[in-house]
């Protein structure tokens, strides 16, 4: 028996409807909105036992939706105007010791309303930062010193201030040398090529490839003085570890 959807007239009708009014891309269907406007609307509707069934249903539906959506990805979108609305736990891909954490908030009053805890690698128990110190960078930015000797796998931000948390930076997981100014004592350049073995290759974010001369650095061999390489940061930074990637070609033992 032929189904209704397989009828030729139905298929032609649906095709014509689609071509007349095609569906929009998924991204264009997402309307940006400010949940604070809804919170302001719901705030005076209290206590709950005085609400109508309609008001109670609207309030419950909204808060269930908020529980299912924290917008944690907004903390790493490089936009300080997009903010989260719920407590956030960040799980680190690679456990590392912490040094400091920077937060950017929407309102100045949120700066002192954020609590920080962390979880050690292999555990789920939240711990308070030892010797925690805070330094205000500007009205909306706060640095939190949280130095640990053990590796941390997760960081949790809670408190009333996280309803306006917009950006988060964790020092231990950030490459502070990336794209910084680099110099070296000399440059190996037998091909007389302007881009071979530059000092900047060591901080370009590329850790290897098929053409090491364009991704690695190399000083002149067999010189009277030992070669050197140095990087200068654009601003002071706390360094917790050094990670060095060697060249990947057949002369790997040369360095």
Q: Give yes or no: residues 141 and 214 share one domain.
A: no
Residues 115, 117: Cα–Cα separation, whole Å? 7
Q: Give yes or no: residues 160 and 196 share one domain.
A: no
Cβ–Cβ < 8 Å for 197, 189: yes
Q: How many domains does the chain have?
A: 2
Q: Give yes or no: residues 136 and 221 share one domain.
A: no
Largest Cα span, the chain: 90
Q: Give yes or no: residues 204 and 219 share one domain.
A: yes
Q: Give yes or no: residues 244 and 180 share one domain.
A: yes
Closest-CA residue to 189 (of 215, 217, 166, 208)? 217
Q: Give yes or no: residues 188 and 230 share one domain.
A: yes
Q: Give yes or no: residues 159 and 80 share one domain.
A: yes
Place of tokens 């400010």: 34
Specify if 22 maps to a domain. Answer: no
The pTM of the full predicted model, rounded to 2 decimals, is: 0.44
Q: Give yes or no: residues 167 and 210 share one domain.
A: no
Q: Give yes or no: residues 180 and 167 share one domain.
A: no
Structural domain ending residue among the three candidates 172, 205, 237 = 172
Q: Give yes or no: residues 225 and 143 share one domain.
A: no
Tokens of 43: 């705030």
Specify if 62 maps to a domain. Answer: no
CATH number of the domain to which 149 belongs: 2.60.120.260
What is residue 67's predicted lDDT score, i.e. its pLDDT? 43
Specify if 142 maps to a domain. Answer: yes
Structural domain ending residue among the three candidates 140, 156, 172 = 172
Structural domain ending residue among the three candidates 172, 200, 215 = 172
Residues 135, 142: Cα–Cα separation, whole Å? 6
What is residue 29's predicted lDDT score, i.e. its pLDDT? 37
Cβ–Cβ < 8 Å for 170, 84: no
Q: Could you list the residue range(s) of the whole structural domain that residue 213 is in?
A: 175-255
Q: Give yes or no: residues 218 and 255 share one domain.
A: yes
Specify if 7 maps to a domain. Answer: no
Specify if 244 maps to a domain. Answer: yes
One digit per residue, the tens of pLDDT, for the chain of length 255 reads 566 666 777 667 766 665 665 544 433 333 445 566 666 777 777 776 777 777 777 766 665 554 444 556 667 666 778 887 777 888 877 787 787 788 888 888 888 888 889 999 888 898 998 778 888 888 888 888 887 878 888 888 888 888 788 888 886 556 788 889 999 999 988 788 888 889 998 888 777 655 678 888 889 988 888 899 999 998 887 776 787 888 776 665 555
What is residue 4's predicted lDDT score, i.e. its pLDDT? 63
What is residue 62's predicted lDDT score, i.e. its pLDDT? 60
Which string of b and e fits 191-227 if b means at least 16 CB within 10 Å? eeeeebbbbebbbeeeeeeeebbebbbbbeeeeeeee
Specify if 48 maps to a domain. Answer: no
Specify if 223 maps to a domain. Answer: yes
Q: Give yes or no: residues 145 and 82 share one domain.
A: yes
What is residue 171's predicted lDDT score, i.e. its pLDDT? 67
Specify if 117 maps to a domain. Answer: yes
């Amino acid at each position: 028996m032929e189904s209704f959807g397989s009828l030729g007239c139905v298929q032609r009708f649906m095709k014509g409807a689609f071509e007349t009014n095609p569906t929009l891309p998924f991204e264009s269907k997402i309307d940006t909105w400010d949940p604070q406007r809804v919170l302001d609307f719901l705030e005076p509707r209290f206590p709950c036992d005085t609400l109508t069934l309609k008001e109670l249903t609207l309030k419950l539906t909204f808060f269930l939706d908020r529980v299912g959506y924290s917008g944690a990805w907004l903390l790493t979108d490089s936009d300080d105007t997009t903010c989260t609305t719920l407590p956030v736990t960040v799980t680190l891909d690679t456990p590392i010791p912490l040094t400091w954490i920077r937060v950017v908030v929407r309102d100045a009053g949120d700066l002192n309303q954020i609590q920080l805890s962390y979880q050690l690698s292999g555990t789920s128990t939240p711990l308070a930062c030892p010797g925690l110190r805070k330094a205000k960078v500007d009205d909306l930015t706060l640095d939190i010193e949280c130095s640990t000797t053990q590796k941390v796998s997760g960081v949790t931000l809670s408190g009333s201030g996280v309803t306006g948390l917009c950006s988060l930076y964790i020092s231990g997981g950030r490459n502070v040398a990336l794209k910084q100014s680099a110099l070296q004592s000399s440059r190996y350049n037998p091909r007389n090529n302007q881009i071979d073995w530059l000092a900047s290759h060591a901080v370009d974010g590329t850790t290897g490839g098929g053409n090491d001369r364009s991704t690695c650095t190399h000083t002149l061999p067999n010189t009277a003085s030992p070669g050197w390489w140095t990087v200068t940061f654009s601003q002071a930074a706390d360094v917790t570890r050094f990670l060095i990637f060697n060249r990947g070609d057949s002369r790997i033992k040369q360095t």
